Amino acid sequence: MALTREQLAQRVARELQDGYYVNLGIGIPTLVANYVPKGIEVMLQSENGLLGMGPFPTEDEIDADMINAGKQTVTATKGASIFSSAESFAMIRGGHVDLTVLGAFEVDVAGNIASWMIPGKLIKGMGGAMDLVAGADNIIVTMTHASKHGESKLLTKCSLPLTGAGCIKKVVTDLAYIEIADNKFWLKERAPGVSVDDIIRLTEGELVVPDVVPEMTF
């Protein structure tokens, strides 16, 4: 079965390492804050100017002034800092973020990402996505493997306007964990209960499949 949004976030959270500064994009990536592994400390950054973002608040903890870049209410961890968005983007553009997690409409075998607009549809704006993919070496994309119409989102070449070129190396979808290298997708893990044939069928770009593909653990 395909992963839920929460399971996607749990799988991405396994990529966190002690001492990391991490930016979480809008949507599924924000859920990663709820699944930071025990025994490690990470500082989660929101580009509107919060470093040290914690889990989503309970009703008793909600503070309408404490929000992330997606305008969701959040909490702050011990040692958190609040600063201007100009300083926040200086941190991003200066290469001081160890890991970026963001969503996408499309990713292709060259590591290109399209995540900010679909022509003809309402556009909320670029946000910080272009700066984030340009300023970080370690980027994880999390998204559904195919559109609601069953069309692959892992392509030979992106068809939508690019957010960044040649910058994506890891993708976690609701069906699989895939790495990108040598202009190919490399299948590393599959979601529990999902067959390799299903992943092959829904991957347009060239996919390298090993003899054994382990199931994901959380």
For the annotated catalytic residues, the residue numbers are 47
What is the length of the chain? Answer: 218
Q: CB-based contacts of 197: which residues, under 8 Å, 6+ apart?
A: none
Which residues on adjacent β-strands are paired with residue 94? none
Measure the CA–CA gap between 107 and 118, rounded to whole angstroms: 14
Strands 154-155 and 43-46: unpaired
Q: Which two tokens stand for residue 87?
A: 């300083």
Strands 139-143 and 154-155: unpaired
Strands (DSSP E) contained in the chain are 21-24, 43-46, 50-53, 76-82, 99-102, 106-108, 113-114, 139-143, 154-155, 170-173, 176-181, 184-190, 207-208
Q: How far is CA 159 from CA 21, 74, 99, 113, 115, in A?
A: 32, 35, 26, 10, 11
Measure the CA–CA gap between 197 and 9, rounded to whole angstroms: 24
Question: Residue written as tokens 């300083």?
Answer: 87
